[in-house]
Chains A and B, each alone.
Chain A
Amino acid sequence: MNPSSFEYFAPKRIEEAFDILAKYDGEAKILAGGQSLIPLLKLRLTSIPYVVDISRIEELSYIRESHNELHIGALTTIDDIENSASIRGKYPIIFDAASNIADPLVRNRGTVGGNISHGDPSNDMPAVMLALGAKFTIASARGDRVADADGFFIDTFTTALKYGEILREITIPGRGTHEAGCYMKNKKTAGDFSVAGIAVQIRFNNSGTIEKAGIGMTSVNPKPIRAIKAENYLKGKKVGDSVVREASRLVVSESNPSTDFYGTVEFKKQVLAKIAEDAIYMATDRAEEN
């Protein structure tokens, strides 16, 4: 199918984008990589009179480290993230997620900011950002503001972004010496939406006790959320079979999947329990290798 007609803007500077958004008060929509919006338009599930394509704003595409933090421009493509040596080396949790998003065609166009801003509970990056405790720099004509990933995801397809705002940067806090993460998801076929996904980031102290754990979940709640009970439980524990089993049980207790074509509630919880265990072990192994 073809979309209904719309007016298209492709500003090269973020200020221009603010002006266009302001001009069409409430009626314009931001397009980044287009991997979610274009299908919605093509299938005529929605129609939008004004589309503001921000993909040419080059200043929003970067990956850089400073003050021990990782800064990712919102328009950085998933492919760029997948191919970043520093991300792969220091934040394998982000690499895991990036390299398993849909297929290479989608990853070439799709952006990390779009993946987060769309508010789709089956997108992978939100869970990763929750597990990492990321901060989002949100730009608007009034200036920048900073929001925690935790609290950013309000409901299905609804985030804390207000009309006129553009996600500028994702800031990942510095990584501890004995810290690593892992993202795992289960999908029926390559390129498909996931049945369930889980992001786990764990920081150990020198004696191998968990100092801090961050856990985010994909596709098993109406919005991306943290598994807070499991995070709290893991704090102060050492990784072992019974601890991992209990953490996995707590993760599942914090999920609220629904039965649909991708599986029954029972199946999704079984999948989540299994990948939660695997992800905790994998994160632990990686932290030990650091």
Chain B
Amino acid sequence: MSSYFTRAKDDLAYNERVFVEGRGHFVDDIIKPGALHMSIVRSPYARAKILSIKGGMSSKDLGARMASVGEGAMEGKNSVIQPVFATGYVNYVGEAVAAVFADDRYKSEDLLDSVEVEYEPVKPVVSIEDALSSPPIHQGLKSNIISEGWRGKEFPDPASPIVLEDVFMNRRIATNPIEPRGIVADYDGKVLSVWISTQSVHSIKEGLCEALGLGPDAVRVMQADTGGAFGSKGGLYPEYVIASFAAMKYRRPVKWIETRMEHLSSTSHGRGAKGIVKIFAERSGKITGLKGEVIVDAGAYGAGMGEFASRFIATMMTGPYMIENAHVKSTSVLTNKVTLGPYRGAGRPEASFFIERMVDKLADELKVDPVDLRILNSSESKFRSPLGMEIDAAKPFLDQAVKELDYRRKAKSTHNIGFSFFVLVPAFAPGETARVKVDGGKVSVWLGGNSHGQAHEVFVRKLVNEELGVPENLITLYRGDTGMLKDGVGSWGSRSAMVGGAAVISACRKMKEEVITKFGKYSVQSLLSGAFDVYVNEEQKGSLNSFGANLATVDIGKLGSVKVRECAAYYDVGRALNMDMVIGQIQGGMAQGIGQTLHEEMAFNEDGQLLTASISDAGVPLAEDIPNFEVKVAQNPSRLPHGAKGLGESPTIGVPTALARAIEKASGKRIRETPIRPEHIL
């Protein structure tokens, strides 16, 4: 067990050392003597019958199916479970068909050519429209629709004079953390030990146990330093099951490290949502009703988030606004693409894009200021949206945001300006676990959700210090380890500082009581002189939301190139536990928001081939795309003991919508999708 961040005097300096200078101990840094390296034979077709496989490990050796775990899978079991190895037929380019193993990576990649797979290609289902009009891609299904439902109640069309309708698309994008996925698995005859780059060791363990039929005592999952994830490392993937199975079968450690090309084709994509929205409004600008449909391109199986995402997006379709009537259909469809998973925001940015684009459209229709329209439709008090969201009083925050972002003055001097307003609904329930242990004069902490670049150790040290008075240099947060913490949820959905922080506080308070019971009163000295070990599962119910607003201005070049001139944020972060971390989170997320809006896309041709199979084609934002960010925060404390609110996903929700509006104003072309390609605005 290695220390997560060993008592650095300067948290930021340590975090920079690990993640910027590449001095962390990542999965690929784990060297096991005698290890096998694994390479995966992947499908070159989006859809094909497998006629024969010669060589390698394949479905005949491992017929398991993938358990559904992690973010977005918590609502229940998925209906179309992905096999670990493609079985009988392949359903997306990059699907695992067979695995080969060798003493080193060169040799295992050489072995890929030794596996002979005979395919009979079948016409694939690539687009959402294809999916709705084509026979199901899997046998035994009635259609390609894997989830369907309604949010809100049906209502007769209001007699409002303004009725506007539009169709929007957020195209698929890759998560693209700097460190791709990776795993090392080892088996000693009793326990399968797994080291992995992940957001949740507990999800991975749950998934492996189910897929391999192992009991909870037979699997230990340990997190390596994790170089980013953005949603893609919370769930189970075929390679994890295969590497674990191979480690048990060959009784040798097995390592697999994903290449960037594999990441683009075979790690879940995000977004991939279409929105059809109709709003009804009075001439005053008051929106009286919203009807619509969300259709999510779930990919080839129900794994990941695809099945759940459409309902989640539909629930948030009224945004932060007080719209009394809303009725939204949600549909998720199967396509011959890699499964859809969470990507920073995971449904929240899509919903916000759909409603914010409609509010801007209404402003143009009525020829009024779009921010005035947002204020008009915001509530002075908290309310429950017809789609089921609990929303705090929005108007006071919005009024303040207009001032903080200096909107009125900037809107006078700049035509090319966009303003967005949103409510972030983080993954609050079901709470999180924590373990705090005191031994040998030191405090050790484990959290149910695993840091993958956010530097959880910073808030953990601060909160333990505040609760127990222990100097921060005696407090260590360890990496995720199911051997040290029996259960947990995961780090996603803007939740860790909120629910992880609350769990740490709860554990500290319990420990304080134990100290008092033992010593009669509490002191740091008595705490550190003893041995204590407290586990809590701090459950959270209901929801806890926070507001945010963004402002963007742009210039457009003669050839449709967009230069972001200015990108500003004003978010309610609750009590900021560390302002540097807050600013860092926001700036990084704003860069990703710019990426989604301007360049990022996972594009497929009609044969289901990935057109964006290299990192340069994936469109990740570059330094030249990034303006100076202006970041301001409101600190309205939440009801949690430490006052924290969710933050991580705010920038990817607010930036695309503000930027889309600024580009719309600058180009005079209605913006309906991301990314916004130069040919759309030329």
Chain A residues in the interface with B (C-beta under 8 A): 1-2, 4-5, 43-44, 186, 188-193, 195, 260-261, 263-264, 266-267, 270-271, 274-275
Contact A190 B624 (CB under 8 A): yes
Contact A271 B261 (CB under 8 A): no
Query: Which size class do B's interface residues fall under?
Result: 20 to 34
Partner of B261, one of A1, A192, A264, A266: A1
Interface string of B617-634 (1 = CB under 8 A from A): 101001011000000000
Q: Which residues of B contact A263 (CB under 8 A)?
A: 677-679
Q: Which residues of A contact B677 (CB under 8 A)?
A: 263
Contact B109 A191 (CB under 8 A): no
Contact A192 B616 (CB under 8 A): yes
Bound form: Cα–Cα A193–B559 in Å: 16
At the interface, yes or no: B611 with Cβ under 8 Å from chain A? yes
Contact A189 B619 (CB under 8 A): yes
Q: Which residues of B contact A264 (CB under 8 A)?
A: 679
At the interface, yes or no: B599 with Cβ under 8 Å from chain A? yes
Bound form: Cα–Cα A1–B110 in Å: 11
Contact A5 B611 (CB under 8 A): no
Contact status of A4 and B678, CB under 8 A, knowing A189-B619, A189-B625: no
- CB of B538, distance to nearest CB on chain A (Å): 44
Q: Which residues of B contact A266 (CB under 8 A)?
A: 679
Contact B110 A4 (CB under 8 A): yes
Q: Which residues of B contact A271 (CB under 8 A)?
A: 559
Contact A2 B599 (CB under 8 A): no
At the interface, yes or no: B558 with Cβ under 8 Å from chain A? yes
At the interface, yes or no: B79 with Cβ under 8 Å from chain A? no
Q: Which residues of B contact A1 (CB under 8 A)?
A: 109, 259, 261
Contact B599 A189 (CB under 8 A): yes
- CB of B474, distance to nearest CB on chain A (Å): 44
Contact A261 B603 (CB under 8 A): yes
Partner of A267, one of B561, B616, B617, B678: B678
Contact B622 A261 (CB under 8 A): no
Q: Which residues of B contact A2 (CB under 8 A)?
A: 105-106, 109
Bound form: Cα–Cα A189–B611 in Å: 17
Q: What are 23 A-B pairs with beta-carbon distances under 8 A?
A: A1-B109, A1-B259, A1-B261, A2-B105, A2-B109, A5-B106, A5-B110, A43-B261, A44-B109, A186-B561, A188-B599, A188-B619, A189-B625, A190-B624, A191-B622, A195-B678, A260-B611, A263-B679, A267-B560, A267-B678, A267-B679, A267-B682, A270-B559
Partner of B678, one of A44, A188, A191: A188
- Residue of B109, B612, B625, B679 ringed by the most chain A CB atoms within 10 A: B679
- CB of B676, distance to nearest CB on chain A (Å): 12
- CB of A280, distance to nearest CB on chain B (Å): 15
Bound form: Cα–Cα A192–B677 in Å: 15
Contact B259 A190 (CB under 8 A): no
Q: Which residues of B contact A195 (CB under 8 A)?
A: 678
Bound form: Cα–Cα A275–B557 in Å: 12
Q: Which residues of A contact B105 (CB under 8 A)?
A: 2
Bound form: Cα–Cα A175–B662 in Å: 46
Besides the contacts A190-B624, A267-B678, what 4 more A-B pairs have beta carbons closer than 8 Å? A189-B599, A189-B625, A191-B616, A192-B616
- CB of B161, distance to nearest CB on chain A (Å): 38
Bound form: Cα–Cα A192–B600 in Å: 13
- Those of B589-617 within 8 Å (CB) of chain A: 599, 603, 611-612, 616-617
Bound form: Cα–Cα A190–B626 in Å: 12
The residue on A at minimum CB distance from B601 is A261
Partner of B109, one of A4, A267, A274: A4
The residue on A at minimum CB distance from B620 is A189
- Those of B255-303 within 8 Å (CB) of chain A: 259, 261
A-B pairs, top 3 by smallest CB distance, nearest first, are A267-B679, A261-B611, A2-B106
Q: Which residues of A contact B622 (CB under 8 A)?
A: 189-191
Bound form: Cα–Cα A191–B110 in Å: 30
Contact B619 A186 (CB under 8 A): no
- CB of B258, distance to nearest CB on chain A (Å): 11
- CB of A248, distance to nearest CB on chain B (Å): 13
Q: Which residues of B contact A43 (CB under 8 A)?
A: 261
Q: Which residues of B contact A191 (CB under 8 A)?
A: 616, 622
Q: Which residues of B contact A274 (CB under 8 A)?
A: 558-559
- CB of A166, distance to nearest CB on chain B (Å): 29
- Those of B300-359 within 8 Å (CB) of chain A: none
- Residue of A4, A5, A260 ringed by the most chain B CB atoms within 10 A: A4
Q: Which residues of B contact A267 (CB under 8 A)?
A: 560, 678-679, 682
Q: Which residues of A contact B619 (CB under 8 A)?
A: 188-189
Bound form: Cα–Cα A43–B599 in Å: 24
Q: Which residues of B contact A186 (CB under 8 A)?
A: 559, 561
The residue on B at minimum CB distance from A261 is B611
Q: Which residues of A contact B561 (CB under 8 A)?
A: 186, 188
The residue on A at minimum CB distance from B558 is A274
Bound form: Cα–Cα A44–B44 in Å: 14
Bound form: Cα–Cα A1–B619 in Å: 20
Q: Which residues of A contact B617 (CB under 8 A)?
A: 261
Bound form: Cα–Cα A264–B261 in Å: 25
Bound form: Cα–Cα A270–B619 in Å: 22
Q: Which residues of B contact A44 (CB under 8 A)?
A: 109
The residue on B at minimum CB distance from A196 is B559
- CB of A258, distance to nearest CB on chain B (Å): 13
- CB of B261, distance to nearest CB on chain A (Å): 7
The residue on B at minimum CB distance from A270 is B682
Bound form: Cα–Cα A266–B560 in Å: 13
